[in-house]
Structure 1
Amino acid sequence: MRVRVPASSANLGAGFDALGLALGLHDVVEVRRTPNPGLVVRVSGEGAEDVALDESHLVVRALLAACSRLDTAPGGLELTCANAIPHARGLGSSAAAVVAGIAAGYGLAGVALTGAALDDALHLAAEFEGHADNVAASLLGGLVLAWCEESDGDRRFRAARVEPHPDLRPVAIVPREQSATHVTRGLLPEVVPHADAAFAAGRAALAVHAVSARPDLLLPATADSLHQDYREKAWPDSLRVVRALRAHGVAAAISGAGPTVLALTAGTALPQAVDLGGFTVLPLPLDRTGVVVDPLG
């Protein structure tokens, strides 16, 4: 089978660990069963020199976890991964790998990603990541609202999809530097002021409305008080770009754990007065479909 999975941008400003947006930049994984036991992994594109080529590869780990959950023996496997999503840049590369592996595992088991099976796949993917925003976007496409329900010590990751406005045109502004999620999360305080929490709640709710129905409200909707300023020392140049774009009226925020900047536009060019030296500017369509699994010929 061939699995095509989109990149994603999480948070969108104030929606920390709750909002995600699927982007039209895709990793493609081809999975073949082989008659002999064992595993062959080939990788090209982003991260090809850095990722493992054995069972510790993230796609393989997720695939095996899905097969275990579905009580399916994967048998001998050959994986060919063509990566387009930059690694460690805040564009959901690890979430995409997890979703690709889980979708492949469900495909090997002959289970369609619909209904309860899709809910279970989402939960399994979020267990890998520790939160559901990126994996939900890669699974479902469009704009996602993610949350976690806890009862009697058990937790269940959930997500709902919202259709983005047709005029929305994301632009990823990608630096050369990388960033690790575990490092940037370590910069966050355990407690924030009540006023900041109230601000974030209102802006996260507004972001859902702005992305889906009122793009003219994107600038106030993407304002943040929860995480970006606390993590400035991890990516000072990226936050400088966010502030400069916002000063020129462009809705911009750090994408996920950074250091990529996401600008949400209606197709207008970014202001030339903002210095984007050292960054690669990638206008991207939205991905409205999410992960796609097709048979190989």
Structure 2
Amino acid sequence: MTISVPATSANLGPGFDTLGLALSLYNEIDIKRANFSSISIIGEGAENIKLKKNNLFLSIFNEIYYELTGKKDSFRMVFKNHIPFSRGLGSSSAVITSAIASAYAMAEFKIDKNVVLNRSLVYENHPDNISPAVLGGFVTSVVHNNQVNSIKKAIGDDIKAVVVIPDKPMSTKESRTKLPKHYSMSECVSNLSHSAFLTACFLEEKYDLLKIASKDMMHEELRMQTLPELFDVRKTAYENGALMSTLSGSGSTFLNITYKSDAANLQERLKDKFKNFRVEILSFDNNGFIISKS
């Protein structure tokens, strides 16, 4: 079998730990039964020997597969990674969701995306990245009684993501330590109102209002201070047609959304100014993970 899982961008400004969307940048894993277990990695992480010895995908896959079958079978796994690590594009969520879904598939159980989503919550305790990785599109989620409840909106081809991927990673765990333990009432109300408005903008396709909707007062600028060039990325993006410009997850990637007709110009301007950063035009993925069997 082969599973393909998309990159994701979470928070989207004010939607801290709740809002996310899926991007057309994928990790792909080929899995075959074998006489002995083996792993190959192509692309991102190929040079990291530790990934073969301490592989999160394999750990989760084996745990779920044994639970479902009571067996410890051997598999040949080939990882074709395109999602950068520690760049705010949901690489961990891609690993978690695809490992769970793959275990169900290889155990010959029906793939229920709600089951995969809720089992993923055990390994990542907020749904902003795991929900779009599973469902695709723009997703707003809430956890209630340890269950994820999500509403998905497919995103049309009239808008594109222009992502700026710096050459420096950011650790989600470390970046959270920079955040305050308490927020003022006005900060909380601001983020509540903006995240609600941002959700409405995506659901109603009011993309011209995204700049207003994506204002954050809780985390974004505190995290951006680690890589001050990101302030200039946002300024440049807005000067060149971006509808919204936000830190992707905890960074370091910056997500810029623009109309399709403006995407190439925005990419060119950002490339010219930030020559050490990777700048890509991506469509939005509306499927989430996909499994194909051979």
* TM-score, scaled to structure 1: 0.90
Report the alpha carbon displacement of residue 247 of structure 1 after superposing the two structures with TM.
5.4
**Could you say which residue in structure 2 is the equivalent of 1:42?**
40
Corresponding residue SS for 2:234: helix
Report the alpha carbon displacement of residue 249 of structure 1 after superposing the two structures with TM.
5.5
**Could you say which residue in structure 1 is the equivalent of 2:258?**
265
Amino acid at match of 2:275: G
Matched, 1:200 2:191: yes
**Could you say which residue in structure 2 is the equivalent of 1:92?**
90
Amino acid at match of 1:52: L
Corresponding residue SS for 1:43: strand
- With over 3 angstroms needed to count, the CA separation of the structure-2 counterparts of 1:59 and 1:138, relative to structure 1, is same
Superposed CA offset, 1:177-215 (max 9, x none): 011110111111111111111111111112122223111
Superposed CA offset, 1:45-66 (max 9, x none): 0111124214x31111221232
Greater helix content: 2
Are the aligned partners of 2:157 and 2:283 in contact in 1 as well (CA < 8 Å)?
Answer: no
Superposed CA offset, 1:64-84 (max 9, x none): 232245345351111100001
CA distance, structure 2, for counterparts of residue 226 and residue 76 of structure 1: 46
CA distance, structure 2, for counterparts of residue 194 and residue 277 of structure 1: 41
Report the alpha carbon displacement of residue 95 of structure 1 after superposing the two structures with TM.
0.8
**Could you say which residue in structure 1 is the equivalent of 2:128?**
133
Corresponding residue SS for 1:25: strand
**Could you say which residue in structure 2 is the equivalent of 1:119?**
114
Identical aligned residues as a percent? 28
Report the alpha carbon displacement of residue 149 of structure 1 after superposing the two structures with TM.
1.5
- What is the count of residue pairs matched by the alignment? 286
Matched, 1:181 2:172: yes
- With over 3 angstroms needed to count, the CA separation of the structure-2 counterparts of 1:24 and 1:192, relative to structure 1, is same
Matched, 1:147 2:139: no
Are the aligned partners of 1:123 and 1:158 in contact in 2 as well (CA < 8 Å)?
Answer: no
RMSD: 1.9
Are the aligned partners of 1:148 and 1:157 in contact in 2 as well (CA < 8 Å)?
Answer: yes
**Could you say which residue in structure 2 is the equivalent of 1:52?**
51
Corresponding residue SS for 1:234: coil
Amino acid at match of 2:88: G
Amino acid at match of 2:150: A
Q: Structure 2 matches for 1:11-90, cutoff 5 A?
A: 11-34=11-34, 36=35, 38-50=36-48, 51-54=50-53, 56-90=54-88
Report the alpha carbon displacement of residue 164 of structure 1 after superposing the two structures with TM.
2.2
Gap runs ≥5 in structure 2: none
- With over 3 angstroms needed to count, the CA separation of the structure-2 counterparts of 1:69 and 1:18, relative to structure 1, is farther
Are the aligned partners of 1:102 and 1:121 in contact in 2 as well (CA < 8 Å)?
Answer: yes
* TM-score, scaled to structure 2: 0.91
- With over 3 angstroms needed to count, the CA separation of the structure-2 counterparts of 1:68 and 1:190, relative to structure 1, is farther
CA distance, structure 2, for counterparts of residue 135 and residue 160 of structure 1: 13
Are the aligned partners of 1:165 and 1:211 in contact in 2 as well (CA < 8 Å)?
Answer: no
Corresponding residue SS for 2:130: helix
Are the aligned partners of 1:228 and 1:239 in contact in 2 as well (CA < 8 Å)?
Answer: no
